[in-house]
Amino acid sequence: ITVSKGDEKDDSLQMITLGTFKMKRQGVSSSISHAIRLGIKSIDIAPTYDNENEIGNSLRSHTVKVTLKVPKRAINPNQAREEVMNSLSSLQLKCADIILLHWPSDLIEADTLLQVWRELESMKNEGVCRLIGVSNFSISALKKLISLCTTRPSINQVERHPLLPQYDLLDYCSSVGIVVQAHSPLGG
């Protein structure tokens, strides 16, 4: 993940983050150790990647920034909180640096985007994380969220690379003060 543009000043944002999507359980420890030796100070995790326990075991002897994702299956506030708390438990952490809503579609369809976002705001206020944001949100999904919420997302993590530059999304996020993080920056 690379930070593309934005005004975010929080040190939770790192220029390069180790993504753990498709990281096989048996390779987690060596991959994380190698990445940290190379200077990576941030890791991106989601329960749907099915490797949180292994990542948690690997992180015990390292200090890195952690981005957690609330999976799209969490369509109500209780489910969102439960997913975050389960992730923190699996990772053996008390808090995350960043929590992102992973996909907007199911929340918008269930008409629970605002309720789930407010739960993320509550978790931030409780110290469960430092920043809250979204992942894979289009301009229309961001507009919907921004029109409803009190705290704007700090981050929108999206696929962005030379074959999918998403300039309109980048411009929109910049205009409303949301940092764009690129996942799959070398292509999907």
What residues act catalytically? 49
Amino acid at residue number 18:
L
| Tally of CB atoms within 10 A around 66 | 23
- d(CA 45, CA 99) in angstroms, rounded, equals 10
- d(CA 87, CA 174) in angstroms, rounded, equals 30
Q: What is the Rg, in whole angstroms, of the alpha carbon atoms belonging to the chain? A: 16
Please tell me the chain's helix, strand, coil percentages from 3-state DSSP, rounded to the nearest 5: 40, 20, 35
DSSP codes of every residue in 129-155: EEEEEEES--HHHHHHHHHH-SS--SE
- d(CA 145, CA 179) in angstroms, rounded, equals 15
| Tally of CB atoms within 10 A around 7 | 9
Amino acid at residue number 143:
K
Distance set, CA 110 to CA 81, 100, 138, 161 (Å) = 17, 18, 17, 31
